[in-house]
Each structure stands twice: as C-alpha cells, then as structure tokens.
Amino acid sequence: MAKYIVKRVFYMFITLFLIATATFFLMKTLPGSPISSASKLNPQQLAVVEAKYGLDQPLPVQYGKYMLNLVQGDLGNSYQFKGADVTDLIISRLGPSFILGAQGLILGVAIGIILGMIAALKQNTIWDYGSTFIAIIGISIPSFVFATFLQYWLAIKWELLPVALWDDGWKSSIMPSIALAMGPLATAARFIRTEMIEVLSSDYITLAKSKGASSFEVAFKHAFRNALIPLVTVLGPLAAGLLTGSLVIENIFAIPGIGEQFVKAIMVSDFSVIMGTTLFFSVFLIFVILVVDILYGIIDPRIRLSGGNS
C-alpha cells in the first residue's frame, strides 16, 4: 500500500511538472501580447513595462523564475488586474465555485442513488424504464443546454428564480446547482443500478433471504452498502465533469467563480491567470483521482492495490 502511494505521488509530480512546463512554453508561443496597450506605447515605454513583468529576460531565465516561484506557491501577477496576485485572485473566486460544485455533486449523487435503487429493485418495470430514461437524458444532454432551458423557463418565463448573478444568496445557486447535478445524477443512477443488480444475485443475498430477512432489510442492509462501495471510483471522473461544467455554467449564470474568471482570462490573454488556473485545475483533478484510488483500496478490502497496471 505504502509503495503504491509513493509511486502514485511520484507520477503525480511528474505529471504536474510536465503540465507546468508545457503551459509555460505554450503561453509563450501564443499570439498577442498580454500588455493590452502594446501598440500604443513607444519602444522605450514598452521596454519599461516588459522589464516590470520580467518579459525582457531570455526565455530560460523566465522559465526558471516561474518554476522557482511555483514551488513556493507563487503563481505570479495578473496582467489584467493591475498586477494582482494570481494566487489571491484564485482564492477570492473559490467560494461560489466550491458551493456550486458541492451542491451539484451532493444533489446529483443523492437523487442518482435513489433512482438507481428504484430501477434495480423494480427491474424491467415502468419505474426502471423511467429512471433509465432520466439517466440517459442526464448523460446525453450537455449541461449548458440544460442550463439555458432552466434559465429560460424558471427565470425568464415564470420568474421564479433570479436570472443570473450571485446576489440573492442561496436562491442564486439553485439553477446552476441543478444544471451541474444532471451529470452526477445520471452517472450515479446507472452505476448503482448495475451494481445493485449484480449484488442482488450474489450468494450472500440468497442466504439472507433464506434466513428470513425481509426484502427491505435485504435491499438496504445487505445489498445497498456493498453496491455503494464502487461508486467511489466514479468520483474522480465526476469531479472532472463538474469542472468542465463549471466553466460554462458560471458563464451562463454570470457567477463570480473560477470558471468564469478562467474563460475571461482566455479572452483577454491574461497569461499568468490562465497558467495559474490551469495548474490549479490540474492539481485539483489529479489530487481527487489519487485520493479516490487510495480511498477505494481502504474501503474495499477485496481490492489489493499493487504497483501493477490495471
């Protein structure tokens, strides 16, 4: 186990190093200057501004400085917001993104589990087909399509909820959370259904039934718990999906989160914010997947983590 974790963490750092390096050099090849008024400045002024941001130094020096700062947790300064610290910018935007992500994930997984349970316990009935249908819709329809329809009906037509922004407290978070929840809901429902059906046909369930346990007890006490364990494995992909979703959802609902900031930074080529956010996303996703893998080995003793390839 310890050997496995060490190996995984080692790969994690190689991956992060590669991402940081690739991002840095890709940003340098980008067309367009991060200095928005570059064309208006005379060469001397431009030189002063470039010197201020360290853009006048040779590339390897810039790269070395960047990596050195990175190790110390310093992501550099934003070009867009008058030299604001990128780390601070990201932290200041964390709140709304985190709330939406957490609400979407919890809501989606909870409803997904219920739907999946119903489908498995009432296999091949109208309940099963209904929840399978919802799951297919949830997997297929992109969250931004779903979000725009929610916005049109709930906010514009019926005026039940605020159209956008983050000013109405939890009311503002309802629609974006629902839009984000659709993916996790569908994944959880499909997963739990398959797992439950498999578990319900195993020997220990037959034993529990033959000993006279009620079908409710069998379903929830014996089957459900074991069906739930593998759900941990999809948390990694779900987190990635939520991140992708947040980029569009935050834009649709004009929520001051990281996703919205990232897309804006791309539009104005604010290199340091793009690099910082990319690294933040990468660390987040890689870390989630690592934790999920380790967690899975701990929860389910049948899984023996080894150094081998799966």
Partner 1 sequence: MTQNLDKLPTESFKRITIDSSQAEKISKPSLSFWQDAWLRIRKNKAAIVSMVLLVLIIVMAFLGPVLSPHDAEKQTITHANLPPKVQGIEKLGFMDGVGVVGGKEMDLYERKKVDEYYWFGTDGLGRDMFSRLWEGTQISLFIAFVAAFIDLVVGVIYGGISGYYGGRVDDAMQRVVEILIGIPNLIVVILMILVMKPGITAIIIAITLTGWIGMSRIVRGQILKFKNQEFVLASRTLGASNNRIIAKHLIPNILGVIIINTMFTIPGAIFFEAFLSFIGLGLQPPAASLGTLINDGFRLLEFQPYILLYPSLVLSLLMVAFNLLGDGLRDAFDPKMKD
Choose, by CB under 8 A, the member of 1, 3, 9, 11 that binds partner 1. Answer: 11
Q: Does 201 bind partner 1 (CB under 8 A)?
A: no
Applying CB under 8 A, among 30, 47, 68, 106 the residue interacting with partner 1 is 30
What gap in Å lies between CA 31 and CA 176, rounded to an integer?
A: 34
Of the candidates 63, 84, 85, 142, which one interacts with partner 1 according to CB under 8 A?
142
Cβ atoms of 89 and 80 closer than 8 Å: no
Binding marks (x or -) toward partner 1, 254..283, rule CB under 8 A?
Answer: ---------x--xx------x---x--xx-
End-to-end CA distance of the chain: 15
Q: How far apart are CA 274 and CA 270, in angstroms?
A: 6
Among 1, 6, 9, 14, interactor with partner 1 by CB under 8 A = 14
Cα-atom radius of gyration of the chain, to the nearest Å?
A: 24
The residue whose two tokens read 């948390």 is 235
Name the β-bridge partners of 85. 77
Whole-angstrom distance, CA of residue 168 vs CA of residue 170: 6
Q: Which of residues 143-182 bind partner 1 (CB under 8 A)?
A: 144-145, 148-149, 151-152, 156
Considering the complex, state which of residue 15 and residue 45 has its C-beta at the smaller distance from partner 1. 15
Contact between 309 and partner 1 by CB under 8 A: the answer reads: yes
Q: List the helix and strand counts (H, then E) for the chain.
A: 13, 0
CB 85 within 8 A of CB 250: no
Binding stretches for partner 1 (CB under 8 A): 11-12, 14-15, 18-19, 22-23, 26-27, 29-30, 136-137, 139-142, 144-145, 148-149, 151-152, 156, 240, 243-244, 247-248, 251-252, 263, 266-267, 274, 278, 281-282, 285-286, 289, 309
